[in-house]
Amino acid sequence: MANKGFEILNAGPDLRAVTLDANKHMFYGFPFGSAMDYKSVMAVNQVLGKEPNSKVLECSLKACKLRANEDSFICVGGADMGWKIDSETIEGYQCYEINTGQILSGGFSKNGLRSYIAFSREIDEVSGNHIIFQNDSEKSTPQPKAYQFKVNNNLVIHRGPEWNLLDQKSKEAMMIYSARISPNLSRMGTYLDGKVLTIKTNFPKQSVCTFPGVIQLLPSGQLLVLAQDAQTTGGYPRIAYLDKDNLADFNQLPIGKELKWRLEIL
């Protein structure tokens, strides 16, 4: 099959090809990587009848603009970015045919933060301004919609390795905590604007292992939730971590959004 792929007319603030797989070389300091919202990735792939882990495009904050250089089926999901094929609005988690020369575009996210695009053929790579498909990949068979994206800001956390460094008041505050997503957010992590917490004793000056979803307490008392592209080690106490099912939900919360969590003791 000819490999014409799609042309990127506008990448938006952050466009990348992602899967659900972690980087295999974390021992050498490579971040975990992978998609920020695995639920949406699995769902868009499912609609196109593909393996849940197939590579998709991830757009953060604002949609990209693509021109089809070949006929394809696509499915968009995750945050609603007002996606259109030419001037026709399309819905999330539905299969649409896009023909050569047609344009896929959208705007800023209306709910959530990250949107995903799956293609019927397997993405090989994003190279320069082209999305290149694997040579031997055939179009998959579309399946009915089975998922609806919803922003979930009621989250669950668990106690982290340094939970006991928190003073009693801070422990109580962490049990049911509310905060807002600060503007300081990226694929590395998100700072929260919320109640300032304190620890009883100094945290030793040595690095510890970190992971996506871990909640670090900074010396200022502010909380930082690490995400998929965070460093593999860090120097701040890990007082808690997000329940794995909620990390994808957290990663979809936009700047300024209020969130609440409750502590569940395992």
Partner 1 sequence: MNPLLIASINFNLIEIDNDKLLLQVTNNQIKQSTSIPLIAEHINNSQLKQIHNVVAAENEILIYYKKESFTELLNELQKFSNSKIIPDKESFKIEVCFEFGEDWEAVCNHTKKKREQIISELLKCKFPLINYGFQPGFMYLDDLDESLSVPRRSTPRLKVPAGTLAIGGKYVGIYGSESPGGWNIIGRSSHKIIDNFEIEHFPSIGQKIEFIQIGKQSYLRKYGK
Cα–Cα nearest to 196, from 152, 239, 235, 257 = 239
- Minimum Å gap between C-beta 239 and partner 1 is 13
- Minimal distance in Å, beta carbon 205 to partner 1? 10
Q: Quick one: 17 or 26, whose CB is closer to partner 1?
A: 26
Instruction: State how far the Cα of 57 lies from the Cα of 74, in Å rounded to an integer.
Output: 11
Q: What is the dihedral of CA 111, 59, 213, 261, to 10 degrees?
A: 0
- Nearer to partner 1 by Cβ, of 19 and 115: the residue is 19
Q: State which residue, 31 or 78, has the beta carbon closest to partner 1.
A: 31
Taking the least distance from each CB to partner 1, the nearer of 103 and 208 is: 208
**CB-wise, 5 or 31, nearer to partner 1?**
31
Phi and psi at 202, nearest 5°, equal: -65, 145
Residue 2 beta carbon to partner 1: minimum distance, rounded to whole angstroms: 26
Nearest-approach distance from CB 13 to partner 1, in angstroms: 18
* Burial status of residue 200 (CB atoms within 10 A of its CB: 0-12, 13-18, 19 or more): exposed
> What is the binding site for partner 1 (CB under 8 A)?
22-32, 158, 161, 206-209, 211, 213, 231-233, 241, 243-244
Interatomic CA distance for residues 239 and 46, integer angstroms = 36
CB of 25 to partner 1, least distance (A): 6
Residue number, 29 or 183, with CB nearest to partner 1: 29
Tally the C-alpha atoms within 13 A of residue 92's C-alpha that lie toward its C-beta: 22
CB of 14 to partner 1, least distance (A): 18
Cα radius of gyration rounded to whole Å, the chain? 20
CA angle 54, 230, 111 (to 5 degrees): 60
**CA-based torsion, 138, 139, 143, 148: positive or negative:** positive
**Across-strand partners of 131?**
6, 126
